[in-house]
Amino acid sequence: MSLIALRIIGFIVLITVGGSVAMYLFTQDRRWLRLAWQVFKYSLLVIAVVFAFLVFERLVLEA
């Protein structure tokens, strides 16, 4: 179940970043690039935290 949720979140992030870059190309307003960068940056942070929990869970279950 958690992998399905991660995939859905990943697709939402991909759509948001792609849409923001497309809006920047359409409007030439740099705030769209800033939004795309922030979404990308925080999604990487969330991915790192989730994978850290997965590694921690695997270490605890092996012990």
Sorted by where each begins, the domain ranges of the chain are 2-62
Query: Within 13 Å of residue 44, how many CA atoms lie on the same side as its CB?
Result: 6
Backbone angles phi, psi at 28, to 5 degrees: 60, 25
- pLDDT score at 1: 52
- Per-residue pLDDT 10s for the chain (63 aa) are 577 888 898 999 999 999 999 999 999 999 999 999 999 999 999 989 988 988 898 899 886
- pLDDT score at 63: 67
Which pTM was predicted?
A: 0.79
Full DSSP string of 17-33: HHHHHHHHHHH--HHHH
Per DSSP, 1 falls in state -
